[in-house]
Structure 1
Amino acid sequence: MNASDSWAPLVITPQSAGVEASSAGLLEVVSDTETVDGQLVKEKALIFRGFGVTEEELEAVMDELLPNRLAYVHGNSPRTKVGKNVYTSTEYPQEFTISMHNEMSYAHQWPARLLFFCQKAAETGGATPVTDSALWLESLDPEVREAFRGGVCYQQNLHDGYGLGKSWQDTFETDDRAEVEAFLENTGAAWEWRPDGSLRVRQVRPATAVHPVTGTEVWFNQSDQWHPAGLGDDTAAALAQILPADELPQSVTFADGTPIPDAYVIQVRDRGLEAAQDCDWRTGDLMLIDNMLVSHGRRPFTGARRVLVAMSD
């Protein structure tokens, strides 16, 4: 039995919950916050299916499941804000896989919960894979786990409006440098404004984390997404021709500044995906995940697909 066979999200339907198949029925389920909180810790991810929720009805559900919705400040992936701290899922070309990650695990603070809502399912593909982050850690070779024990150092080069990657204005949802500096002062990061108006941010973070409720140690970093090797040989080669490693929009080393071997990064990326269970979206589905206990990604797809995401502490 492989790792992905030993865990899967809990699917909750109107039939299993004993309520009507409507947004009112779902509200009846999620308003029992004590039960939902307990289920989420135990099951790590909950899929609400068959309730027929529309985008117009989403706000009331989010108020129950995410009472303190967070802005995506210091987020590194491209998204569009579509409501009160509600965003599109990562806007990455649909023909590519997005590898497994815990949202904002590179940051000094990260959301505790994520809620995904499928407004429109893809024609084909487009699943959101989810992986038990403890199983991901266990799946790595001892040599790799030991190498990451000292943590990692992330670097962002955020342009001033034109260039590769995200601008500092989009990243911090402001065009006020003072607001950016005030935010960064509380993060333990080192930063510098560069002559071209761009912002360089460096921060050292642990590679694993311990869940505050369960005490479980989990793989909790985005080294494979910040490392060129995690993007594939062709993309990495193309980036190397355009920019030196120190000038890439984002990059990562071990905490002491030594390079992370390509083979380690590829093992991390591939084993996270191998351990994943796919949430094959149906329009109207919602999925609530514990962002420490579960990582997520995205499978390639065809046709139109619209999945929204919100997060809370």
Structure 2
Amino acid sequence: MNTPTGIRLSPVPDQRHESDSDFPLAYLCDDSAIDLDQTCNWVGENRDQLLALATEHGAVAFRGFPTPNVEGFDRFITSLMIENFPYEKSLSNAVRINRTPRVFSANEAPPDVRIFFHHEMAQTPIYPKYILFFCEVAPEIGGETPLCRSDILYSRLAERCPEFAAKCEQAGLQYTNVMPGSNDPNSGMGRSWQSTLGVDSKEGAEARLESLGYTYQWLENGCLKATTPPLPAVMETTPGQKTFFNQLIAAYCGWKDERNDPSEAIRHGDGSRLDADAVRVAIDLSEELAYDHRWQVGDIVLLDNTVAMHARRSFEGTRKVLASLAEMRTQSFAVQGGPR
């Protein structure tokens, strides 16, 4: 990699070392003479290597670079030359606010709401290959973004709960979510059905859900209850490397608001209930393997969404962490024949 003096690999606090790999890999810019143009040139020249490192390590962090504002973050992303996956085209259930065509708030849920580990949009038929996070305002207390290598988690889960791991791989998962009739900013999953589905009528919502293979039910309060088709719970990212690619932990622990009950949010793809003890093992493993990124203004973190899960700790004060999605992928699953 062509790296100028002043940009170097550097450890970050609490960096993990798993399977001879740093997690996250971290670059530090400690030369104030390096400006945004030089940074973007470096990113663009090394685009393929940086994306490959995100896949190899799960995440790459950038600290000390001249990217203190959203415009700098947007230029950094553009330099990576990755296809934008706009928020409005996603099926994310989080309320977010766009700042640029490819940058939006990570989640508008209140500070006391904890967001549990998940792969972004693994609970839908479409998901992003890459996620980038950016710190505009660092929180006073808390607000870390935990990251977890999902391939390592799955390997350990398969050792401790082999039957459950096999059932996840063979049967997949289904998710049920009740979407409100208008955005609910007090919930971590409060995006309205109109915004989620990109429609303005019930007829449009039904057509979109049917095209995606969902089942659905209209509720008396104007909410829409939707259940996904069976989706993969395990992904083979490279030959022999499997990741726990799903939203099991987030749905089981955190899909709770005035409309949603976590006990009804998730099933295996064949309709059977999950083994609660095994799910608890997966939750505990995610915390054991977690790296908590403590934000500093200007920090950027690049994730391969198929390798690393992310979450959000509760916080006090003001916290503004922005996000961008890239390279839309699709997934489907046949319960009898396995993932395809």
Q: Which digits, 9 at most, give the CA deviation of each residue in 1:30-78, with x for residues without a partner?
A: 1122222232222221111111312222222221236321123211223
In the superposition, relative to structure 1, how do residues 146 and 304 fare at CA in structure 2: closer, same or farther (>3 Å)?
same
- Alpha-carbon separation, structure 1, partners of 2:95 and 2:117: 16
Q: Which digits, 9 at most, give the CA deviation of each residue in 1:270-297, with x for residues without a partner?
A: 2112201122111001111100011111
Q: Find the partner of 1:190 among 215, 239, 260.
A: 215
Q: TM-score, normalised by structure 2?
A: 0.77
Instruction: State whether residues 157 and 250 of structure 1, in contact with CA within 8 Å, keep that contact through their aligned partners in structure 2.
Output: no
Instruction: State whether residues 66 and 311 of structure 1, in contact with CA within 8 Å, keep that contact through their aligned partners in structure 2.
Output: no
Question: Which residue in the other structure is 1:220 paired with?
Answer: 245
Q: TM-score, normalised by structure 1?
A: 0.83
Q: Find the partner of 1:118 among 105, 110, 135.
A: 135
Instruction: State whether residues 122 and 245 of structure 2, in contact with CA within 8 Å, keep that contact through their aligned partners in structure 1.
Output: yes
- Alpha-carbon separation, structure 2, partners of 1:179 and 1:14: 49
Following superposition, the deviation at residue 195 of structure 1 comes to 5.8
In the TM superposition, structure 1's runs of 4+ consecutive aligned residues that sit over 6 Å from their partners are: none
- Alpha-carbon separation, structure 2, partners of 1:300 and 1:219: 24
Instruction: State whether residues 4 and 274 of structure 1, in contact with CA within 8 Å, keep that contact through their aligned partners in structure 2.
Output: no
Question: Which residue in the other structure is 1:309 paired with?
Answer: 323
Question: Which residue in the other structure is 1:84 paired with?
Answer: 101
Q: Which digits, 9 at most, give the CA deviation of each residue in 1:171-205, with x for residues without a partner?
A: 22432445544543443323344565432322211
The equivalences for 1:221-300 within 5 A come to 221-227=246-252, 230-231=253-254, 251-300=265-314
Instruction: State whether residues 76 and 171 of structure 1, in contact with CA within 8 Å, keep that contact through their aligned partners in structure 2.
Output: yes
Percent of pairs with identical residues: 26
Q: Which digits, 9 at most, give the CA deviation of each residue in 1:251-275, with x for residues without a partner?
A: 1112222222433333222211220
Residues 1:146 and 2:166 are matched in the alignment: yes
Question: Which residue in the other structure is 2:234 paired with?
Answer: 208
Q: Find the partner of 1:25 among 28, 34, 38.
A: 38
In the superposition, relative to structure 1, how do residues 66 and 219 fare at CA in structure 2: closer, same or farther (>3 Å)?
farther
Residues 1:35 and 2:49 are matched in the alignment: yes
SS of alignment partner, residue 148 of structure 1: helix
Question: Which residue in the other structure is 1:59 paired with?
Answer: 74
The one-letter amino acid paired with 2:145 is: T
- Alpha-carbon separation, structure 2, partners of 1:185 and 1:85: 28
- Alpha-carbon separation, structure 2, partners of 1:243 and 1:120: 31
Following superposition, the deviation at residue 27 of structure 1 comes to 0.3
Following superposition, the deviation at residue 249 of structure 1 comes to 11
Following superposition, the deviation at residue 144 of structure 1 comes to 2.9
In the superposition, relative to structure 1, how do residues 161 and 127 fare at CA in structure 2: closer, same or farther (>3 Å)?
closer
The one-letter amino acid paired with 2:84 is: R
Following superposition, the deviation at residue 155 of structure 1 comes to 1.2
Q: How many residues align?
A: 297
Greater RCO, 1 or 2 (C-alpha within 8 Å, sep 6+): 1
- Alpha-carbon separation, structure 1, partners of 2:287 and 2:263: 24
Q: Which digits, 9 at most, give the CA deviation of each residue in 1:117-147, with x for residues without a partner?
A: 1001111222211111101112222243134
Q: Find the partner of 1:133 among 135, 140, 150.
A: 150
The one-letter amino acid paired with 1:161 is: S
The one-letter amino acid paired with 1:207 is: A
- Alpha-carbon separation, structure 1, partners of 2:156 and 2:122: 19
In the superposition, relative to structure 1, how do residues 307 and 250 fare at CA in structure 2: closer, same or farther (>3 Å)?
farther
